[in-house]
């Protein structure tokens, strides 16, 4: 019992300290994402607080950090520019409702359809995006590229770079931060190395009077408590027409990023989160955020990695991060604004190193070429566009490659039965990509008057397969021959029954046969 209490105390301590570390890293990120969306900094900070708090309390993945993200911000900017921030709040509410619906319909399970190469590409691409985003922090505040958000998604071409002593100072501080994070765990793990690095570098900059960029150079984070307000938009069909497309895109991006991050944290912690519960948690958080003047959000892979690497595993880590962020806004804005940007860049560079799957270089020549191509493709599309597009592209390419590969596996063997029938034994799945190869392997003119197709080692998978069977039946019918189907699985027979008179074949019933069926005997 004593040992159990000690373990609980240690876990709580790790969660609290890790949460404080995450909160410090959340501030500049939330401010930057607000700039990208074209809203006030407090809109991003309120979103980081509320989304982070609610998902930490009721989400499906303890230890995962949620808040305002760049992937959502770049979609919001057009809406804010054309219709104003109140339409954004209404869109965030609708986005949350759609996400709750997805969770209620248990759509979170479809994340299992994301192949491992897509996961690797997602992780690598996101690591590159995080790295490129930090490069934008080396720009001068208020000049081209700083507040426009172009650097955030990987484009740092327009950034007005700092130079001379200021650049040297920032690079030295970044290096010191990374060194502390790397070497401190070798001495002690009593406190998160990232927290020690941020506080240590901040104190050094303050007491030594080092001239370098700080959080306050971006914007003031001082503010009050978020207040409840219904979005000031007309409740008409025209408003719904405006916000619905944005809400659908935001909901999809938010869920994809959250569920993929959930899967990544599952793998790192050797535990299992609950995808459908996370969908509901994200939805509730966004509905609440829209009513309290926030820009909405989803899971953040960078901050989640900081949390996990700092020892945060439980819900208290996310709760601490959110509450600490609120305290920063209410009481400690002047202190937080003195944190050097370089210290936070160093933390994020460590996150990049830890997030990128370096083993993907080693396995590139050992995995199928299609998988290697998908891995690189998803990484590139993530950097060039956004996560949702990259994942969809990766899944589609993987599915097409799978279909093409299995389309070549359909084999038909011909034999003559003693009863005077021609028997075709089909091996492999029969679906849309395989029907051409399937039809080419029959010879109706040379066959007996009675023909049997045996599906013991095959499976009729879709409507295209049924159409192929019907085409085959019509060829034999035109020659005055009879076609029978044998050893169909129950699912295949169900497909044929639903097709009704669309398919004119004779099914030889075989109720005790259980090959190629999903049901247990």
| Three-state secondary structure string covering 127-151 | HHHHHHHHHHHHECCCCCCCCCCCC
Torsion angle of C-alpha atoms 283, 287, 289, 294, degrees rounded to 10: 100
User: Which of 372, 371, 374 has its CA nearest to residue 390?
Assistant: 374
Q: How many CA atoms lie within 13 A of 100 on its CB side?
A: 13
Tokens 């401190």 sit on residue: 184
- Measured N-to-C along each axis, helices 116-135 and 369-384 cross at an angle, to the nearest 10 degrees, of 30
Say which residues have a Cβ less than 8 Å from residue 279's Cβ, sequence separation at least 6: 60, 99, 100, 102, 103, 107, 108, 255, 258, 259
Q: How many CA atoms lie within 13 A of 278 on its CB side?
A: 30
**C-alpha to C-alpha distance for 62 and 258, rounded to whole angstroms:** 12
**C-alpha to C-alpha distance for 181 and 192, rounded to whole angstroms:** 8
User: Which of 26, 16, 20 has its CA nearest to residue 221?
Assistant: 26
**C-alpha to C-alpha distance for 325 and 65, rounded to whole angstroms:** 13
Q: What is the pTM of this model?
A: 0.72
Sign of CA dihedral 238, 240, 244, 250: positive
State the pairing for strand pair 482-486/506-508.
parallel
CB 47 within 8 A of CB 295: yes
pLDDT, position 512: 42
Residues paired with 425 in a beta bridge: 413, 454
pLDDT, position 495: 61
User: Which of 12, 49, 11 has its CA nearest to residue 27?
Assistant: 49
Q: Which two three-digit tokens encode residue 84?
A: 């104003």
CB 303 within 8 A of CB 25: yes
CB 226 within 8 A of CB 46: yes
Query: Is the CATH code 3.40.50.2300 the one for domain 408-508?
Result: no
**C-alpha to C-alpha distance for 71 and 152, rounded to whole angstroms:** 9
Q: Which two three-digit tokens encode residue 100?
A: 């709750």
- Measured N-to-C along each axis, helices 70-83 and 2-37 cross at an angle, to the nearest 10 degrees, of 40
CB 470 within 8 A of CB 503: yes
pLDDT, position 141: 53
pLDDT, position 157: 42
Helix or strand run (H / E) with residue 173: helix 164-187
Consecutive 10-residue runs of the chain (521 residues): their mean pLDDT? Answer: 49 89 86 81 93 95 91 85 94 97 88 82 84 76 40 43 82 94 86 87 93 84 91 94 93 89 88 91 96 94 88 92 94 89 87 85 87 92 80 88 79 83 88 87 89 86 82 85 80 62 50 38 35
pLDDT, position 499: 53
CB 26 within 8 A of CB 303: yes
- Taking phi over 0 as left and psi of -120 to 50 as alpha, with beta for the rest, 142 belongs to left
State the pairing for strand pair 66-67/298-299.
antiparallel
Q: How many residues does the chain have?
A: 521
User: Which of 173, 222, 232, 172 has its CA nearest to residue 333?
Assistant: 222
**C-alpha to C-alpha distance for 442 and 475, rounded to whole angstroms:** 10
CB 52 within 8 A of CB 65: yes
Question: What is the residue extent of each domain of the chain?
Answer: 2-363, 408-508
User: Which of 54, 78, 76 has its CA nearest to residue 64?
Assistant: 54
């Amino acid at each position: 019992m004593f040992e159990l209490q000690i373990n609980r105390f240690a876990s709580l301590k790790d969660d609290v300290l890790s949460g404080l570390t995450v909160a410090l890293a959340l501030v500049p990120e939330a401010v930057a994402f607000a700039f990208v969306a074209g809203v006030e900094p407090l809109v991003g900070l309120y979103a980081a607080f509320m989304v982070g708090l609610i998902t930490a309390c009721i989400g499906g993945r303890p230890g995962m950090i949620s808040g305002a993200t760049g992937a959502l911000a770049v979609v919001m900017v057009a809406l804010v520019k054309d219709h104003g921030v109140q339409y954004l709040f209404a869109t965030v509410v609708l986005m949350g409702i759609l996400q709750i619906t997805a969770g209620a319909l248990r759509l979170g399970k479809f994340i299992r359809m994301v192949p491992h190469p897509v996961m690797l590409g997602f992780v690598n691409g996101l690591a590159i995006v995080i790295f490129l985003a930090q490069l934008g922090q080396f720009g001068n505040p208020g000049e081209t590229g700083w507040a426009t958000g172009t650097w955030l998604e990987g484009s740092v071409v327009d950034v007005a770079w700092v130079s001379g002593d200021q650049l040297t100072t920032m690079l030295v501080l970044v290096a010191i931060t990374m060194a502390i994070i790397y070497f401190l765990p070798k001495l002690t793990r009593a406190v998160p190395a990232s927290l020690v690095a941020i506080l240590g570098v901040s104190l050094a900059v303050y007491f030594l009077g080092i001239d370098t960029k700080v959080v306050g150079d971006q914007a003031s984070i001082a503010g009050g408590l978020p207040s409840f307000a219904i979005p000031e938009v007309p409740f008409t069909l025209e408003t719904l027409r405006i916000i619905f497309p944005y809400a659908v895109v935001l909901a999809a991006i938010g869920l994809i990023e959250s569920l993929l991050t959930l899967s990544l944290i599952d793998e790192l912690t050797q535990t299992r989160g609950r995808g459908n519960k996370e969908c509901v948690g994200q939805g509730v958080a966004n509905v609440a955020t829209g009513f309290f003047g926030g820009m909405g959000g989803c899971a953040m892979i960078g901050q989640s990695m900081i949390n996990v690497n700092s020892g945060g595993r439980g819900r208290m880590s996310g709760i601490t991060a959110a509450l600490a962020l609120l305290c920063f806004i209410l009481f400690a804005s002047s202190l937080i604004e003195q944190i050097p940007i370089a210290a936070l860049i160093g933390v994020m560079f460590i996150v990049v190193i830890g997030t990128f799957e370096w083993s993907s270089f080693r396995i590139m020549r050992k995995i199928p070429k299609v998988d290697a191509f998908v891995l690189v493709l998803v990484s590139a599309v993530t950097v060039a566009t956004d996560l949702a597009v990259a994942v969809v592209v990766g899944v589609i390419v993987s599915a097409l490659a799978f279909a093409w590969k299995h389309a070549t596996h359909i084999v038909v063997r011909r034999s003559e039965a003693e009863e005077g029938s021609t028997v075709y034994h089909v091996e492999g799945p029969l679906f849309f990509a395989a029907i051409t190869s399937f039809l080419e392997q029959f010879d109706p003119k040379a066959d007996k008057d009675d023909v049997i197709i045996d599906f013991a080692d095959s499976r009729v998978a879709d409507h295209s397969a049924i159409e192929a069977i019907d085409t085959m039946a019509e060829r034999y019918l035109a020659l005055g021959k009879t076609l029978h189907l044998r050893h169909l699985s129950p699912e295949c027979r169900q497909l044929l029954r639903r097709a009704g008179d669309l398919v004119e074949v004779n099914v030889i019933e075989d109720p005790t046969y259980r090959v190629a069926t999903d049901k247990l005997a």
